[in-house]
Amino acid sequence: MTLSNVLLWKEADIKKYRGKGIIICPADKPIYGRNILTCESSLYFQRDEARTLCSRRILPQNFAPVFIRHSHDWTYSFSGKQQVNLKFRRNATWITSTWSLQGSGILHIASACHVTGQDFQLYPATEGHSESNIE
């Protein structure tokens, strides 16, 4: 891969083209060559190396809620039905909603929200970007 194959998009550019037949993935992970083995690529290509490259959790029947943050989303897993409250700011107004979640899934664009349940609380992330020169 050469640098001529890479474009630098601003968030406004991504929002402009999203949903028009173009899929733009967030630049939150590096892109590796075919001979670099990662957990994600091994799972995607269904390679045997996934067994050793990926960490696994074996959970008991009733387990504490599991959350993994990925960019703006939260991946979650609950052992049973869980009532979840989301509180976020839209313009100058606080908006609250309540969802009933069960099993595993993804809370999209939830990193800017207060997310609370009976046994957990997730705080919103402050996000931004910085630039620097590599010398």
Quick: pLDDT tens for 24-47. Answer: 565 666 666 667 788 877 877 788
Instruction: Give the bridge partners for 89, in sequence order.
Output: 94
20 band by pLDDT with thresholds 50, 70 and 90: low
Q: Where are the domains of the chain?
A: 8-53, 66-122
Q: Mark out the alpha helices in 1-135 (DSSP H runs).
A: 11-17, 39-44, 50-53
Mean predicted confidence (pLDDT) in 44-71 = 81
Predicted confidence at residue 114, as pLDDT, reads 86
For the beta carbon of residue 5, count every other beta carbon within 10 angstroms.
Answer: 7
Alpha carbons 86 and 52: distance in angstroms, whole number: 36
Instruction: Give the bridge partners for 14, in sequence order.
Output: none
Average pLDDT, the chain: 76
Q: Is the pLDDT of residue 4 over 70?
A: no
Alpha carbons 105 and 120: distance in angstroms, whole number: 16
Q: Is the pLDDT of residue 1 over 50?
A: no
Q: Pick left, alpha or beta for residue 72 (phi over 0 → left; psi -120 to 50 → alpha; otherwise beta).
A: alpha
